Structure 1
């Protein structure tokens, strides 16, 4: 009787490789979609390509940085939480915002602009528009890199604390940080939505407002269910 062949041992690094490939694929898909939408806009009757210092360029640069911190926090929560509901939320945030980052980086490539600003953050979003960053409890543009540079972002100390927690404490603190993160991000998205004439940017900012608005409501409910309050 022929002995059954043993299944080949799964490589210990196969999971990280698969995850890494998936992240690259999502970013590439977002970049391609971003370039397609922007190119279509440029071929229509839309205004000229956004220039450095414009709301569109500033938003794409700064919101990419903002989103990537959310992705970092969501990845940590997804990999270290044991709460299925919070883990699902973290996965949804990571997936959605990573695709949006790819789209914004695609725009910047097509517009001939760097992926990140070379100056202070948030110079495209003026206080005269009714979004006073100081009123959100946030540092002004040009703050130290050890602080949160944009509305809602976590500081290095807060990220360190998040990584030190486990169980319910981890889940609650993640929800608190991400709720504040979303609130800051929606303020940025609202300003860009109200001040852009580029259809692709208006569409993305509306999508951010819709998805993060729903997640804000959900996170408040999840905190209340865990006898916790927002920060």
Structure 2
């Protein structure tokens, strides 16, 4: 697997500030706040796990860290593609934020595996961790994310295919923006499903903290992208 730290967008490419913060700016600020809170939670989480055994290579935590890295790094790629294509400043700002946050989180998960002395590539097919039963006593909506709808080696939920990514790369203007939002909404929905599945299978404070941060930030981005997509004519077949 590629070192996730290599995917961090160039800071020199950050979008310039353009007037009032607006709804996109609010999402960007909110996402950055979530990243900060995750960093703080990580520090406290390390203290709280000093007496706790590290996850094993076939654990939900390790599987989540490996698979969500792949998932996030595709999100970075999609965001960078639309930044090269669209001339809409709001989309530029939103895509930059998505690429930055997802690259940072992918790097964090890469670091977990290094700290746990686990290989970056697992010995099982991808998504195997999601086929295992939820923890006894899992509460609320997390308990619904059991093994019934997945099989080892299944595609990650929401992951775009090679042809879909190439369709985005080849498109221009509003068509490219519609393809991007169509793909990225699905992509975010898949990340929410994976995060919910992790919360049903783990009590590890560092990992569950990140999963909750993903749920919070990407749910807000889905709502925003849905509005922006509707303004451009709605989803496209891709």
- In our comparison, the structure showing a higher alpha carbon Rg is 1
TM-aligned CA deviation for residue 180 of structure 1? 0.1
Answering whether residue 99 of structure 2 is matched by residue 88 of structure 1, we say no
* Counterpart selection for 1:102 from 92, 100, 107: 107
Q: Secondary structure at the match of 2:167?
A: helix
Query: What TM-score do you get using the length of structure 2 for normalisation?
Result: 0.73
CA deviation profile, 1:67-114 (whole Å, cap 9, x unmatched): 000001111111221111222111111011111011111110011111
| Higher relative contact order, chain-length normalized (CA < 8 Å, sep 6+) | 2
TM-aligned CA deviation for residue 140 of structure 1? 5.0
Relative to structure 1, is the Cα distance of residues 218 and 158 closer, same or farther in structure 2, using a 3 angstrom cutoff? same
In angstroms, what is the RMSD of aligned CA positions? 2.9
Out of 121-130 and 152-161, give the one that drifted further: 121-130
Alignment-derived partner of residue 195 in structure 2? 189
Out of 198-207 and 118-127, give the one that drifted further: 118-127
* Counterpart selection for 1:19 from 7, 10, 15: 10
TM-aligned CA deviation for residue 132 of structure 1? 7.6
Query: Is residue 133–residue 151 contact of structure 1 (8 Å, CA) maintained in 2?
Result: no
Relative to structure 1, is the Cα distance of residues 209 and 94 closer, same or farther in structure 2, using a 3 angstrom cutoff? same
Unmatched tracts of structure 2, length 5 or more = 1-8, 14-35, 135-143
Q: Secondary structure at the match of 1:195?
A: coil
Relative to structure 1, is the Cα distance of residues 194 and 100 closer, same or farther in structure 2, using a 3 angstrom cutoff? same
Relative to structure 1, is the Cα distance of residues 41 and 109 closer, same or farther in structure 2, using a 3 angstrom cutoff? farther
* Counterpart selection for 2:54 from 35, 49, 56: 49
Runs of 4+ in 1 over 3 A off after TM superposition: 33-39, 127-135
Distance in 2, matches of 1:134 and 1:164, equals 37
- The aligned length equals 196
Answering whether residue 234 of structure 2 is matched by residue 200 of structure 1, we say no
Answering whether residue 228 of structure 2 is matched by residue 222 of structure 1, we say yes
